[in-house]
Structure 1
Amino acid sequence: MIIQLLVYILIYPVIVLISILPFRILYMVSDLLYLLLYYVFDYRKKVVMGNLLIAFPEKSKEELTVIMKKFYSHFLDIFMEMIKTFSISNEEILERFKLTNPEELDAFMGRHKNVLLMSSHYANFEWLFSLNLRVDHHGFAAYKKVKNKYFNNYIVRSRSRFNTTLVPTKEMIAALGENDKKNMSSIYGMLVDQAPKPGKTYHWSNFFGVEVPVITGTEMLSKKYDYAVMYIETTKVKRGFYETKMEVLSENPRDVPDFGITDLFMKKLEAKIRKEPEYYFWTHKRFKYMRSAEAKNKPSQ
């Protein structure tokens, strides 16, 4: 515990200092880190290329290398933007992370007291918190706790500025149930493109021509509580600027066949990635577990 505190005391001032730097300087730092991470340390390059080979078997090695380089540049930009979140004002983040269909969202939120948002590790998922500044419903977001409790508490406090309550992933189901009992008007954001272990998998979905295990908890909650479900699609306009839109996945989830909402989400996510693959987080082993006849002919990681 003392070591955690000492690490926090040493690193916290550095994070604060970096966060108050202008974006122009932040991206200069990002460019330098890119050179180090890509050309010197070879950070997870085998994993990234392995993912790309499976997702885009029709592309040449040269084409995949171009995508990989663009991804690493974006990856470092996101890292710097994440740090900037600690000090950015509400006005600036709303300017840099714009919602393109506010009227549709307002109408949707007017029809539904509780909404589940399905999103992924695409573009700048860190700034999705800012969307809660636009709605009257209180926002809740599932997150993975940081081992250092001092940094964890700092992150939780920082995100609360955006009308968001962070809930550890393992506690989200219980928190949602409690909020439902209190008859709260809430909006829940969840990144659902992570892969569960096969032993804990309820459904396999098609993703880039292979079947992968997918998280079905969001769909399960939507059916249990009859909450409407929306999909968030974010586009990187230029460096430091994003546009996002909300799409309805289901307003009546109990009428949708089991796993239909999850499969639709995966289909939309794949379509977005195919358009601009460099903005997806390829450093995770996206195809660590896969099955189907096609999978046997794909490169393994």
Structure 2
Amino acid sequence: MRPKLVTDYLVYLAVRLFICVVQAIPLSVCDQISKFLAWLANDVFKIRGKLLESNLRHAFPEMTPEQRKKLARRSWHHLCLMICEIAHAPRKLHTTNWHKSIQMHQIEIQIKEALGRRPVVVLLGHFGNFELMGYCTGLLGFPTYTVARPLDNPFLHDYLEEFRSATGQIILPKQGSAPYIEEVLKQNGTLALLCDQNAGPKGCWVEFLNRPASYHKAISVFSMTSGAPVVFLYMRRIGGPMQFEMGVEGIYDPALCDEPKGVKEVTQWYNDMLERVVRRDPEQYWWVHNRWKDERAAKKKKQPEPQPAKLASAA
């Protein structure tokens, strides 16, 4: 067996053991442990501390350094608790009891679109517990098609995909997924995408939390070419562990517009939706993610052409 495969399998076993331990601990205790781990990550080891400080300073310039430090600690707490919630979800959330953990906000809009005779593009960001969104929409009877990059570790990839597809979510590979997406839209399916992934220097650049960020143009193109409405969803924690609000922040329907929006306009629209939910619950966003890396080449200033030297006038 190849050394990398052995290493991958050992990492997989370690992760499975960790998940088993987390599942054996009550969520209330997981919450307290997550707070302790957040303190270690943020205050002691300062993991990605410079990136966190930079992101929060640009997004919330009105905050004091101490306020940003507390917000960074709360964001670590959210991330740690999010992992615990995902581990507990297969045992805690079922078709008969999901309503005890999830409140709905304007979700009837999404249901209406999902039951219609058109395709739907559902968008969400790295906000709240987005991993549970696909799991819970499947519980509600609305399976989605999601594009995701395969993990480098094949054992972990299979394990994560098993969780994601447990309630009907169908995972499409990131590379070469265009024909599958086209077929999903043709068959009036529901395509669910994370909208805030860096698209590189050639993406569509719009302002996000006071700085330009790159977005994939394909998201807007899917709606423009198929006529699919774009629904921005969120799943935010509203209380203790495993207590969420699933809601619709906004919907853009090209069929209801006198003049359909272009790529940049649609991108700006869903970016504004994401910024609204982030500003309401900033601790539930992935600030450890380098969302604003700008790989564009700096524009070279045009140098003035040299002028021929003037001859001195005769005395």
Q: Aligned equivalents of 1:180 and 1:207: distance in 2?
A: 28
Q: CA deviation at 1:277?
A: 1.5
Higher helix share: 1
1:44, distance to aligned residue in structure 2 (A): 0.8
Give the number of the structure whose alpha-carbon radius of gyration is greater: 2
Equivalent residues in 2 for 1:265-284 (5 A)? 265-284=270-289
CA contact (8 A) 1:156 1:166 kept: yes
Residue number in structure 2 paired with 1:29: 33
AA paired with 1:145?
Answer: P
Instruction: State the secondary structure of the residue aligned to 1:162.
Output: coil
Partner of 1:286: helix, strand, or coil? coil
- Asked which structure has the greater RCO (Cα within 8 Å, sep 6+), the reply is 1
What is the Cα deviation at residue 108 of structure 1? Answer: 2.2
2:128 touches 2:285 (CA, 8 Å); kept in 1? yes
For residues 159 and 120 of structure 1, what CA distance do their matches in structure 2 show? Answer: 17
Show the counterpart of 1:134.
140
SS of the counterpart of 1:211?
Answer: strand
| Aligned amino acid, residue 281 of structure 1 | W
Q: 2:43 aligns with which of 39, 42, 63?
A: 39
Give % identity.
20
SS in 2 for 1:27: helix
Residue 156 of structure 2, aligned match among 151, 156, 170: 151
User: What does residue 197 of structure 1 align with?
Assistant: 200
Distance 2:11 2:277 in 1: 39
Per-residue CA deviations over 1:117-150 (Å, capped at 9, x if unaligned) read 11101111111111232244x3111223221111
Q: 1:285 to 1:98 in 2, by over 3 A?
A: same
User: For residues 98-109 of structure 1, what are the structure 2 equivalents within 5 Å?
Assistant: 98-109=103-114
- Pair 14,258 (structure 1): closer, same or farther in 2 beyond 3 Å: closer
Q: Which of 75, 81, 86 is the equivalent residue of 1:77?
A: 81
Cα–Cα, structure 1 residues 170 and 213, in superposed 2: closer, same or farther, change >3 Å? same
Distance 1:110 1:76 in 2: 35
Q: Which moved more, 1:206-215 or 1:158-167?
A: 206-215
Which letter maps to 1:151? L
TM-score normalised to structure 1 length: 0.85
Q: Which residue of 2 aligns with 1:217?
A: 218
- SS of 2:152 mapped into structure 1: coil
Distance 1:257 1:178, change over 3 A: closer
Q: Which runs of 5+ in 2 are unaligned?
A: 297-315
Q: Which runs of 4+ in 1 moved over 4 A?
A: 91-94
Unmatched 5+ stretches in structure 1: 292-301
Superposition TM-score, scaled by structure 2 size: 0.82
Q: 1:209 to 1:42 in 2, by over 3 A?
A: closer
Q: Which piece of structure 1 moves more, 46-55 or 244-253? A: 244-253
Q: How many residues align?
A: 286
The aligned residue for residue 306 of structure 2 is none
Letter in 2 for 1:227: A
Contact 2:254-2:261 within 8 A present in 1 as well: no
